[in-house]
Amino acid sequence: MEHFTSRLKAFIIDAFIVTLFTALINNILYILLVNVNNPLLLSWYPSIVLIMVTLLYFTILEAKTNKTIGKKMAGLFVSDPEGYMTYPKALIRNLTKIYWVPLLFDVILGKLFGYPSRLFDQIAGTDVYTDEELEQV
């Protein structure tokens, strides 16, 4: 795994940001839904919000700017080998970030299969590079 420490730093920053957004939205929704007499809705909406915020945050930022806030702070960017990033590629590579267990398996499987990065990076045809690598091209 190239850039493992930088990627971990970026992920921790991004996870913190996603957690803040998720908590804010969940608290607002709780205030709106507290009087709704639907236990199923009240028990599932936090998970649905987490999934939506996570996928939207990573997919939109990576597809539009090739960087999340964490990657920008860590000096990293994500792209395919030609330097392009699309919404489908960003979505595919971030599917395992919804919860930490699939992400852990993604990293382990990437290592077991001998890929230089995560398995879902390989499936999406993307990789993470340093800003210095971009300047060399």
Side chain identity, residue 137: V
Residue 125 has pLDDT above 60, yes or no: yes
What's the pLDDT band for 53 if we cut at 50, 70, 90? very high
Per DSSP, what are the bridge partners of residue 77? 129
**Mean pLDDT of the region 110-126:** 87
The residue segments making up the domain with residue 127 are 4-136
Cβ atoms of 47 and 74 closer than 8 Å: no
pLDDT for residue 2: 60
User: Position 95: which residue type?
Assistant: L
Task: Report the number of distinct structural domains present in the chain.
Answer: 1
Tokens encoding 50:
């987490």
Q: Are 128 and 18 within 8 A, CB to CB?
A: no
Contact 106, 119 (CB under 8 A): yes
Q: What is the pLDDT of residue 124?
A: 93
Q: Report the phi/psi class of residue 20: left, alpha or beta, with left for phi > 0 and alpha for psi in -120 to 50.
A: alpha
